[in-house]
Amino acid sequence: MEYQWLKTFIVAAETNNFRKASEKLMISQPGVTVHIKLLEEYLGILLFNRTNKRVSLTDAGKVFYLEAIVLVKEFEGSIDRLHAYSEGYRRKWSVAISPLMAETILPYILRSFMEKHSDLEVSIRVEESAFIEELVASGEVNIGISALNATRKDIEAIELYEDPLLFIVPTDGYEEESAPIFDTEQYLKQNYLFTHHHPVVWDGLLLQLRKQVNTIRTMRVTQAHIVKRFIQEGLGASFLPQSIIKRELIEGRVMNIPFDLFPLPKVKTFLLLKNTGELEQEFIEKISNYYFG
């Protein structure tokens, strides 16, 4: 049985149309027909009913469709493992991290970690914090870095740091030497406030803001890196954790304005894990020694 026969069968089964399958696979329609026929002869089972130039899976075909998916997945996994071995990798290790932290925390930590473990094939999954705990619990990843604390008893949560929220505006929103005193309330009334790019703070923060400012123009933008870009382009302002906006502040691409309406909350970042081996312990030590301020 050939791998390409299985791939052709899966696509044909999902489309119930040999012509559409040929278009997706970028082979001729007669080629699809030949692959299916050879597969049926190999198995000794009719996989498709053919009536009036239409095709549909037989009962046996429906059963084999599920088996074919497993066979293809296992085959492709074997090829991936073989390639990884030929590239010098001998172990696998994976991290799930929220988009909020992926572009700030991970690059520095990952660079030094991988330099020490050249035989380690590291995979990174960028996931929303709400899904990270389950990935750790199921064993799909070794470690998770999340804005949410663990809720399951079998998951250990290590608080990495506490981050102050800063009120971030475009650089042309406030000129320190020449501009008048910055009016926070007026600014919020006149400009968009980008919200919901952190999974914890926004409901409470908006409630407090609306008690202080009677008209706020909000725009929900769920990715922090997009919020940073929008602010740099002068489209509005937002509240961002200090650690993820530090570089932009240093380079003068955005500005932090003292917020005087009420004390801003702080946000926490957690490292989640189920099992603590040598790699996990070393990663914890590296990230614990990183300065997030």
Mean pLDDT, range 256-266, rounded to an integer: 91
66 lies in some domain? yes
Q: Work out the pLDDT band at 86, boundaries 50, 70, 90.
A: low
State yes or no: pLDDT of 88 exceeds 80: no
Q: Are residues 246 and 234 in the same domain?
A: yes
More confident residue, 151 or 108: 151
pTM above 0.75, yes or no: no
Please say whether the dihedral angle defined by the alpha carbons of residues 8, 14, 19 and 23, taken in this order, is positive or negative: negative
Mean pLDDT, range 248-270, rounded to an integer: 91
Q: What is the pLDDT of residues 99-125, one digit of tens each?
A: 877 777 677 777 777 777 777 778 888
Give the domain CATH number at 216. 3.40.190.290
Mean pLDDT, range 73-97, rounded to an integer: 70
pLDDT reported for residue 234: 92
Q: Are residues 35 and 169 in the same domain?
A: no
pLDDT reported for residue 256: 92
Q: Are residues 226 and 261 in the same domain?
A: yes
117 lies in some domain? yes
Please say whether the dihedral angle defined by the alpha carbons of residues 40, 43, 45 and 49, taken in this order, is positive or negative: negative
Q: Are residues 135 and 276 in the same domain?
A: yes
293 lies in some domain? no
| φ/ψ of residue 70, rounded to 5 | -65, -45
131 lies in some domain? yes
Q: Are residues 74 and 110 in the same domain?
A: no
Q: Work out the pLDDT band at 293, boundaries 50, 70, 90.
A: low
Q: Work out the pLDDT band at 214, boundaries 50, 70, 90.
A: confident
Q: Are residues 78 and 214 in the same domain?
A: no
Amino acid identity for residue 61 in this structure:
G
DSSP states of the chain as a string? Answer: --HHHHHHHHHHHHHT-HHHHHHHHTS-HHHHHHHHHHHHHHHTS--EEEETTEEEE-HHHHHHHHHHHHHHHHHHHHHHHHHHHHTT--EEEEEEE-HHHHTTTHHHHHHHHHHH-TTEEEEEEE--HHHHHHHHHHTS-SEEEESS---STTSEEEEEEEEEEEEEEEGGG--TTTSPPP-HHHHHHHSEEEE-SSTTTHHHHHHHHHHH-S--EEEE---HHHHHHHHHTTSEEEEEEHHHHHHHHHTTSEEE----SSPPPEEEEEEEES---HHHHHHHHHHHTS---
148 lies in some domain? yes
Mean pLDDT, range 142-168, rounded to an integer: 91
Domain end position, chosen among 70, 86, 102:
86
123 lies in some domain? yes
pLDDT reported for residue 89: 47
Domain end position, chosen among 86, 108, 137:
86
Q: Work out the pLDDT band at 15, boundaries 50, 70, 90.
A: very high
Q: Are residues 214 and 153 in the same domain?
A: no
Give the domain CATH number at 75. 1.10.10.10
More confident residue, 222 or 291: 222
State yes or no: pLDDT of 174 exceeds 60: no
State yes or no: pLDDT of 209 exceeds 70: yes
Q: Are residues 115 and 63 in the same domain?
A: no
Domain end position, chosen among 67, 86, 105:
86
15 lies in some domain? yes
Partners of 162 in the beta sheet?
268
Q: Are residues 156 and 280 in the same domain?
A: yes
Which residues span the domain enclosing 276? 91-160+268-288
Ranges 72-86, 95-109, 208-222: which has the least confidence: 72-86
Q: Are residues 169 and 247 in the same domain?
A: yes
pLDDT reported for residue 280: 84
More confident residue, 176 or 195: 195
Mean pLDDT, range 256-282, rounded to an integer: 88
Question: What is the tally of structural domains in the chain?
Answer: 3
Q: Are residues 137 and 190 in the same domain?
A: no
Q: Are residues 283 and 227 in the same domain?
A: no
State yes or no: pLDDT of 243 exceeds 90: no
Q: What is the pLDDT of residues 264-274, one digit of tens each?
A: 999 998 999 99
Give the domain CATH number at 273. 3.40.190.10
51 lies in some domain? yes
Q: What value does the mean pLDDT of the chain take? A: 86
